[in-house]
Amino acid sequence: MATQVVMPKLSPTMEEGQLSRWLKKEGETVAMGEPLAEIDTDKATMEMQALTTGVLRKILIKEGESAPLGQPIAIIGQAEEDISGLLGQQQPQAKAEPAAQKAEAAPQGQQPAAGNGGKPAVTKQPESTGRLIVSPLAARMAAEAGIDLRSLNGSGPGGRIIKRDIESALSQPKAVSPESPARHLRAVEPSPAYAPVTAAASAYRDEPASEMRRTIARRLVTSLGPVPHFFLTSEIEMDRAAEMRRNINSLDPELKISINDIIIKISAAALLQHPQVNASYQDKAVRYYNHADIGVAVAIEDGLTTPVVRSAEQKSLSQIAREVRDLAERARNRKLRPEEYTGASFSISNLGMFGIEEFTAIINPPEGAILAVGAMSAKPVVRDNEILVRQMMRVTMSCDHRVIDGATGAKFLQTLKKYLENPLYLVV
């Protein structure tokens, strides 16, 4: 009996996949477990295996096309079998169902000559579960207002989100924290003095957003909009940490410990001292993590990902250094497994190598905080009424105010600063 092959869920955050490459052609035989296609998910290119044995009868989406989870993408059956029943229905299915059931739903029979004018007999579409249904207008309004469509319940047919749902979401009062995100948004608006010289709008080109770019976009608007951010900045003297790094690396050049590795290690230590920061806001609970699973933002072509160093508090600096190098390398080749880039309890984003002195990062929900690390540079500082030159580094922590309050975050940063300025604490 012929069966449909549907777009599988290959990562926890995947909602649709792009068919990167078919590994079988129509008419070729496939065995259960054999690789059938390569699927570009939001994070990585994954191999998809056949779940049944037979002949690849029909390919339903071309290479380069995308399909939501559960949408049929191919049909596997016997060589001579009639698959017209399965071809007739292309609507998204939650999951593959027995083929016998499907054949019944297919349009069939002659239409009366005068009736229906070529309109195919429409079978009732099953209520969709995973897919977001939204009117074009509502989608545009939500995008303009920064509303996460997934947070809404559609009042239209089949749960379609329509204009009035957006309007009612907009009329809900927003929770305003003492340091509301709006203040920061305003701070980055161009001043009137920088009004563009040319009156005409610039020419532009549109390139289709990659799966990763779309995931980044979708995930981040669930952050700065709904998550009330506030930001704490601290300046840290890094001379001792830098000296420690030099000393360790001189023991064995192969170790290649970076300043960032030290920051990961020390952040982990500080997180264990301040469990309120190693936490995340859940719907009706605050979740405290036992370990410091630290996400490290890695820039890759056309996007970024955050591979996770698990239980960083238990690992040695050399272990952390090796692990980060390996994760970053595989991230760039899109070879990370989903469990390697999800489920961090805290993240670190370092733009120091780009000469960025200081910046703010957007929290990767549901994590409670992210540390934005700037460049280390020599600066004059005053110590005991003397001007000295010191290696200074500025870090800014973005906190989710639902779990972390100002003083809590400040205390964590204090500990982080103390440890980084005196890294011997690590061995105390």
Partner 1 sequence: MAVITIREALNQAIREEMLRDENVFLMGEEVAAYQGAYKVTKGLLQELGSKRVIDTPITELGFAGLGVGAAMVGLRPIIEFMTFNFSILATDQIINSAAKMLYMSGGQFKIPIVFRGPGGSAFQVSSQHSQALESWFAYFPGLKVVMPSTPAYAKGLLKSSIRDDDPVIFIEQERMYGNKGEVPEGEDFTIPLGVADIKREGTDVTIVARSLMVPVALKAADVLASQGVSCEVVDPRTIRPLDIGTIVESVKKTNRVVVAEETHPFCGVAAEISTEIMERAFDYLDAPVKRVSGADVPMPYAKKLENLAIPGVEQVVAAVREVAYLD
Q: By CB under 8 A, name the binding residues for partner 1.
A: 114-119, 135-140, 155-157, 162-164
For partner 1, the closer of residues 155 and 290 by Cβ is: 155
Q: How far apart are CA 255 and CA 343, in angstroms?
A: 27
List, by residue number, the catalytic residues: 401
Residue 49 main-chain phi, psi, to 5 deg? -100, 150
Closest separation in Å from C-beta 261 to partner 1 = 48
One-letter amino acid at 140 equals R
Residue 172 main-chain phi, psi, to 5 deg? -70, 135
CA-based nearest residue to 306, from 270, 336, 272: 336
- For the chain, the first-to-last Cα distance in angstroms comes to 67
Closest separation in Å from C-beta 169 to partner 1 = 15
Are the CB atoms for 134 and 154 separated by under 8 Å? yes
One-letter amino acid at 41 equals T
Which tokens hold the place of 231? Answer: 């930001």
For partner 1, the closer of residues 119 and 284 by Cβ is: 119
Which residues face 393 on adjacent strands? 236, 376
For partner 1, the closer of residues 151 and 155 by Cβ is: 155
Are the CB atoms for 161 and 154 separated by under 8 Å? yes
Which residues face 29 on adjacent strands? 55
For partner 1, the closer of residues 139 and 255 by Cβ is: 139
For partner 1, the closer of residues 142 and 376 by Cβ is: 142
Q: Directed axis angle between helix 406-421 and helix 259-273, to 10°?
A: 130
Closest separation in Å from C-beta 133 to partner 1 = 12
Q: How far apart are CA 76 and CA 26, in angstroms?
A: 9
Closest separation in Å from C-beta 138 to partner 1 = 6
- What secondary structure does DSSP assign to 10-32, as a single string? -STT-SEEEEEEESS-TT-EE-T
3-class state of residue 373 by DSSP: strand
Which tokens hold the place of 343? Answer: 């489920």
- Please give the sequence-ordered ranges of beta strands (E in DSSP) within 227-358, or none if there are none: 229-237, 279-281, 286-288, 294-296, 298-300, 303-305, 308-309, 346-350
CA-based nearest residue to 90, from 108, 77, 107, 76: 107
Q: How far apart are CA 400 and CA 409, in angstroms?
A: 10
For partner 1, the closer of residues 137 and 217 by Cβ is: 137
Closest separation in Å from C-beta 132 to partner 1 = 16
Closest separation in Å from C-beta 164 to partner 1 = 7
Closest separation in Å from C-beta 136 to partner 1 = 5
For partner 1, the closer of residues 159 and 365 by Cβ is: 159
